């Protein structure tokens, strides 16, 4: 039986490329704490730091056969996390601009063409995220939020339990909050 704890990063990355799950777990154990600390210092948000790491490690496993570690694996990991943090801040900056613009629109008495365009773009962004939900989850969510059906009515129409309806709605809301940010998400719910 192979002792993965004593293997070098290069050996682990080679095994990872071959689909060795224990090599993946060893890399996860070696780097999760360090990468989390790094991400948290940059983000100052525990949940977002965990989300970024979860996405990174999931993608690392999903793309294990095609990932090429052109530098040492440590450098690759930190560079990948840093890029994800930069992307996060870029998305947050765009969201903040939309929220600010949308807030001004809501408080102004005269809706200009520019504001209407921005509102339309924001609603398209939200709708795109709703369309990206898994089909059954999207169907339940839209029946609840757009058609204003009760959980029981949805369960009866789809021949599923009310508990399943509640779970699907809860999961959809979590995904949308994660993707869109809380402020945009609340603005969307207020308009429905």
Per-residue pLDDT reduced to its tens digit, 119-130: 677 778 778 888
Is pTM beyond 0.75? Reply is no
Tokens 């029981």, residue located: 152
> What b/e sequence results for 42-68 when a residue is b if at least 16 CB atoms lie within 10 Å of its CB, and e otherwise?
bbeeeebbebbbeebbeebbeebeebe
CATH code 1.10.10.10 region(s) in the chain: 112-191
Q: Three-class SS of residue 67?
A: coil
CA–CA separation, 173 and 180 (whole Å): 10
> What fold does the segment set 112-191 form as a domain?
Arc Repressor Mutant, subunit A (1.10.10)
Instruction: Name the architecture of domain 4-89.
Output: Orthogonal Bundle (1.10)
Residue-wise pLDDT for 5-56, tens only, equals 999 998 999 899 999 999 999 999 999 999 999 999 998 889 999 999 999 9
Q: Where do the CATH 1.10.1740.10 domains begin and end in the chain?
A: 4-89
d(CA 167, CA 140): 10
């Amino acid at each position: 039986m192979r002792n993965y704890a004593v293997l070098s990063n290069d050996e682990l990355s080679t095994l990872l490329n071959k689909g060795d799950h224990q090599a993946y777990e060893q890399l996860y154990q070696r780097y999760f704490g360090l990468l989390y600390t790094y991400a948290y210092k940059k983000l100052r948000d525990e949940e977002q730091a965990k989300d970024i790491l979860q996405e990174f490690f999931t993608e690392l496993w999903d793309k294990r056969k095609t990932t090429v570690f052109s530098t040492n694996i440590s450098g690759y990991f930190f560079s990948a996390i840093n890029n994800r943090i930069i992307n996060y801040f870029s998305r947050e900056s765009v969201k903040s601009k939309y929220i600010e613009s949308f807030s001004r629109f809501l408080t102004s008495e005269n809706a200009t063409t520019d504001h209407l365009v921005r509102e339309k773009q924001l609603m398209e962004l939200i709708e795109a995220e709703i369309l990206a939900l898994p089909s059954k989850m999207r169907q339940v969510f839209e029946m609840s939020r757009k058609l204003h059906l009760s959980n029981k009515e949805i369960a009866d129409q789809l021949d599923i339990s009310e508990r399943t309806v509640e779970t699907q709605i809860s999961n959809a809301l979590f995904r949308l909050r994660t993707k869109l940010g809380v402020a945009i998400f609340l603005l969307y719910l207020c308009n429905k």
